[in-house]
Amino acid sequence: MSGLTTIAVRAARSAGDFLLRTGERLHELRIEQKGPNDFVSDADREAERRIVEIIHRSYPDHAILGEEGGAQGDSTARWIIDPLDGTTNYLHAFPWFAVSIALEIQGRLEVGVIYDPTRNELFVAERGQGARLDDRRLRVSQHGKLAGAMIGTGFPFKSVDHLDAYTETFKAVSREGCAVRRAGSAALDLAYVAAGRFDGFWELGLEKWDIAAGVLLIQEAGGAVTDIRGGDRFMASGNVVGGNLRVHQALLDTIKSHLGDDLRA
């Protein structure tokens, strides 16, 4: 494990352990609403502060893009952080949330770490070195078609802009005879694709911090990630399709056939 990855793991574990301890006194948290169905708490902010502190202790010149703190610094090395992906779940004591940390160097993802503190599961990817869950090498599933597949997704709950387009894709995918699951953390959904627990995943309107670490995990586990047109603009658009190679293609074909031309990739 590289020094950069070691720091990402240390930061993710620190934030995750803090979230578990804080979760025992949720009634004390101060909660604010950032937008429709979009909340932030003291726990989110403190978890991100701890992550940034650990990173900057070793790499003080690196830039940060965090969900809560926004963009900080100017460097070719940038950490992309979601300190608590699944805030609404967390605030309801629903045990499906994660810490997501990725490192991008000169625009290319190099490290991805997703930590699920409730299960003590640590998903780690390094470019060219594969993906691992704790000490086990990860590979995407071998399921070959949408029928019978388990597919993760997320509803566009923060904005109605994508609702009509998403609804059409949801109906189309559901008709293919697969099981569709929506649990509320895109980061964990993507990690589950890398681990072969989900065969595929799609969602519209995500942010960079939602997907950066999970994208690298899937790629390093032998899977594919594209935008909804089959291109590579998923980090810019937030519209993501991922899976093992065959399910990804089948999912992509189904989604593309039910999208209007006005929705960006």
* pLDDT, tens digit only, all 265 positions of the chain: 799 999 999 999 999 999 999 878 876 767 666 655 555 678 888 999 999 999 999 999 999 999 989 999 999 999 999 999 999 999 999 999 999 999 999 999 999 999 999 999 999 999 999 999 998 999 999 999 999 999 999 988 666 777 888 999 999 999 999 999 999 999 999 999 999 999 999 999 999 999 999 999 999 999 999 999 999 999 999 999 999 999 999 999 999 988 766 566 6
What is the torsion angle, in degrees rounded to the nearest 10, for the CA atoms of residue 18, residue 19, residue 21 and residue 24? 160
Residue 155's CB: how many other CB atoms inside 10 A?
16
How buried is 206 (Cβ within 10 angstroms: 0-12 exposed, 13-18 middle, 19+ buried)? buried
**DSSP classification of residue 6:** H
CB of 188 closer than 8 Å to CB of 118: no
What is the C-alpha separation between 117 and 107, in angstroms, rounded? 29
Q: How many CB atoms lie within 10 A of CB 207?
A: 16
Residues 6+ apart with CB under 8 A from 57: none
Q: How is the chain split among helix, strand and coil, in percent rounded to 5?
A: 35, 25, 35
- What distance in Å separates the CA atoms of residue 81 and residue 84, rounded to the nearest whole number? 9
User: Helix axis angle, 186-194 relative to 208-220, nearest 10°?
Assistant: 0
CA distance 190 to 192: 5
Instruction: Retrieve residue 101's tokens.
Output: 């940390």
In the numeric block, the tokens 């978890």 are attached to 47
